Chain A
Amino acid sequence: DAKTTQPPSMDCAEGRAANLPCNHSTISGNEYVYWYRQIHSQGPQYIIHGLKNNETNEMASLIITEDRKSSTLILPHATLRDTAVYYCIVRRTGNQFYFGTGTSLTVIP
């Protein structure tokens, strides 16, 4: 089963791009990578997901390496409201989603 590894914490200056890395070296060919974020005391919120190609939506961009062993979530212009814990997730066999311990992102004014 694929697992994910993320740095425990990161800082980013307000207005700059936040690049959050994730390693998922044991990912299988048909497993998607998902990103969620959680603001204190709330349920995790979906951000973006992808399989092979890079993806972009109104919240973020997802860059997946060609070998699919790692990915990067990009918040193009971080704001104070982006301060949260970000989880990189792969979908395990049997419809389970594996959550790691996430990256705590602090956006600094």
Chain B
Amino acid sequence: DVKVTQSSRYLVKRTGEKVFLECVQDMDHENMFWYRQDPGLGLRLIYFSYDVKMKEKGDIPEGYSVSREKKERFSLILESASTNQTSMYLCASSFTRVGEKLFFGSGTQLSVL
């Protein structure tokens, strides 16, 4: 079975802290994604990566950056956390081939105080 593993299930940080959310997949997928999920807004794409060291902005990239140094790992970075970044963060991965599906991690609930 495909595994997408997010390093933390729950995280509490203070305003202004630098926050790293880590995601690892074990299926050699080319694509990796970071979404955030807020009540009433569904899942919104923050960033995605289609190859090592490659990244593309999603719909809401402001306040975030990403890093993909190895194919299996995709990190989301909050340079200076703010309270409006309190949210559920979901990592996903997929192959590039048309018709391939997304596999999700179980999510990280981040609270910024």
Contacts and interface: CB of A to CB of B under 8 A. Distances in A.
Interface of A: 30, 32, 34, 36, 41-46, 49, 51, 87, 91, 94-97, 99-102
A36 B88 CA distance: 17
Interface stretch (B12-20, B39-47, B69-77, B78-86): B39-47
B43 to A, nearest CB: 4
For chain B, what secondary structure do more than half of its interface residues adopt (helix, strand, loop), or is it mixed? strand
Give the interface centre of A41, A42, A44, A49 by most chain B CB atoms within 10 Å. Answer: A44
A4 to B, nearest CB: 10
Contact of A44 (B41, B43, B98, B109): B43
Nearest to B30: A95
Contact of B107 (A32, A42, A45): A42
Interface of B: 4, 31, 33, 35, 40-45, 48, 50, 56, 58, 88, 90, 92, 94, 96, 98-99, 101-107, 109
B31 A42 contact: no
Nearest to A95: B31
**Complex A-B, nearest 4 residue pairs according to Cβ-Cβ distance, in ascending order:** A43-B104, A99-B43, A101-B42, A43-B106
A42 B109 CA distance: 10
Nearest to A85: B42
Contacts of B92: 43, 97
B101 A34 contact: yes
A96 B101 contact: no
A32 B99 contact: yes
B58 A46 contact: no
